[in-house]
Amino acid sequence: MKKRLISLFVTGLLLFAVVAFADKTLPVYKKGDSVYVCTCGDSCDCKTMANKEGKCGCGNALGKGVVSSVSKDKVAVKVDGNNLNFPAKAKYACACGDGCICGTVSQKPGKCGCGTEMKKVL
């Protein structure tokens, strides 16, 4: 009985740690930041954003824009006079690790700006 209680406690602690630290490597965008984004429009389902040039999850080149507003649920980016909306929470992110500078996040799997496959965000 005591072993079960200890293993349950350790499992709960690990689960808490995974949830608490899951988003630590994701980029945080602020108003005025320059970013590269998918320019396909609001109907596109990849919603890729990055800190450097590359291709988005749907295969098109990312366009350079400026973050115009940030809320809990969305990031608005102005590209060539158009406001494009992106979810504030990504489903996929670059898997390069802490030293990665491309900062690619997306709603679809694919490669990030540095060429590495993105990983699913917990």
Distance, CA of 85 to CA of 83 (rounded, Å): 7
Cβ(77)–Cβ(86) under 8 Å? yes
* Rg for the chain, CA atoms, rounded: 17
What is the overall mean pLDDT for the chain? 80
pLDDT band at 89 (very low <50, low <70, confident <90, very high): very high
For residue 23, pLDDT beyond 70: no
Q: Looking at 20-24, 34-38, 51-55, 104-108, which range is the least confident one?
A: 20-24
| Bridge partner residues of 42 (DSSP) | none
Determine the 3-state secondary structure of 95 from DSSP.
coil
pTM for the model stands at 0.73
Q: Which of 8-17, 55-64, 83-92 has the highest mean pLDDT?
A: 83-92
Determine the 3-state secondary structure of 106 from DSSP.
strand
Domain boundaries along the sequence of the chain: 26-120
Residue type, 121: V
